[in-house]
Amino acid sequence: MQAVDRLLQIMERLRDPRQGCPWDVEQDFYSIAPHTVEEAYEVADAIERRDMEALRDELGDLLLQVIFHARMGEEDGYFDFQSVAETLEAKLIRRHPHVFGTSQVAEAESVTHHWEAIKEQERRHRGGGHSALDGVATALPALVRASKLQRRAARVGFDWPDHRGAAAKVREELQEVEAEVHGPAERREAEVGDLLFAVVNLARHLDVDPETALRRAGQRFEGRFRGVEAEFEARGEPLGEQSIDALEAAWQRAKRRAGGA
């Protein structure tokens, strides 16, 4: 813990109103929150790239965010790093009675069900509502939140029996989008939102993480589009002057070069 103790001392110095860093001193929970989210995404990016050196670096940046928030909490008398760690320690033990207690589970799926049941008890103990959707953070990325809402609803039986119902709902929502193509902007937004929500539901039934799937789709698009750009640049032909047929043909060639279907 010596390294962590030194980090806590460094942060205390950075936040010192008289001798600290002016930028660090003027920050608060709200101004730092976007940086915390960004660092979490950079951790995920390093994992996606299988870059372990970058992952070590990004995990350090994410730890900095925890230390920063803990220091601000200590200054305001809410909590400190020690209490954050103690709360986590108690939570891990409480949510793993099959490891630290007498309960027994046979497989990972059973662990997940047990974990969710314990979390539900915790929410009720904190005085939360009685909806199955209580506790789903509104600040989550939209795809992640949609998936989590659907999983919560599914736990109480509000779900299609298999992927076919979810797929049919996607087709239904697409028709509703098409019906509103020339409708008011708010209706188009609502119908597109319903379509995206239905696609997330289909992904869940197919055991596909929608956030990961969309991120990788974006990566494939970027690679293929850059291939199209490179092809026309090599010929000295401006991309913006090509016909849609020429662009489509170049796109298909880029897909084949990348090994895509």
Are residue 142 and residue 177 in the same domain, yes or no? yes
Quick check: is 88 in a domain? Answer: yes
Quick check: is 99 in a domain? Answer: no
Would residue 236 be called left, alpha or beta, if left means φ above 0 and alpha means ψ between -120 and 50 degrees? left
Looking at 2-107, list the stretches that DSSP marks H as alpha helix, in order from N- to C-terminal side. 2-14, 22-26, 29-48, 52-75, 81-94, 97-100
Quick check: is 76 in a domain? Answer: yes
Domain end point (choices 70, 94, 118): 94
Q: Is 89 in a helix, a strand, or coil?
A: helix
User: How high is the pLDDT of residue 99?
Assistant: 85
Domain end point (choices 189, 208, 227): 208
User: pTM for this one?
Assistant: 0.70
Are residue 89 and residue 19 in the same domain, yes or no? yes
- Domain span at 250: 212-258
Position 95 confidence tier, pLDDT thresholds 50, 70, 90: confident
Are residue 11 and residue 70 in the same domain, yes or no? yes
Quick check: is 116 in a domain? Answer: no
**Averaged pLDDT score across all residues of the chain:** 91
Number of domains in the chain: 3
User: How high is the pLDDT of residue 54?
Assistant: 97
Percentage of the chain exceeding pLDDT 70: 89
Distance separating alpha carbons of residues 41 and 64, to the nearest angstrom:
14
- Whether residue 132 is predicted with pLDDT greater than 70 in this model: the reply is yes
- Whether residue 102 is predicted with pLDDT greater than 80 in this model: the reply is no
97 versus 246: the higher-pLDDT residue is 246
Distances (CA, A) of 109 to 116, 121, 202: 11, 19, 20
Give 178-196 pLDDT, tens digit per residue: 999 999 999 999 999 999 9
What's 145's domain CATH number? 1.10.287.1080
- Whether residue 173 is predicted with pLDDT greater than 70 in this model: the reply is yes
Position 61 confidence tier, pLDDT thresholds 50, 70, 90: very high
User: How high is the pLDDT of residue 115?
Assistant: 63
Contact between 62 and 43 under an 8 Å Cβ cutoff? The reply is yes
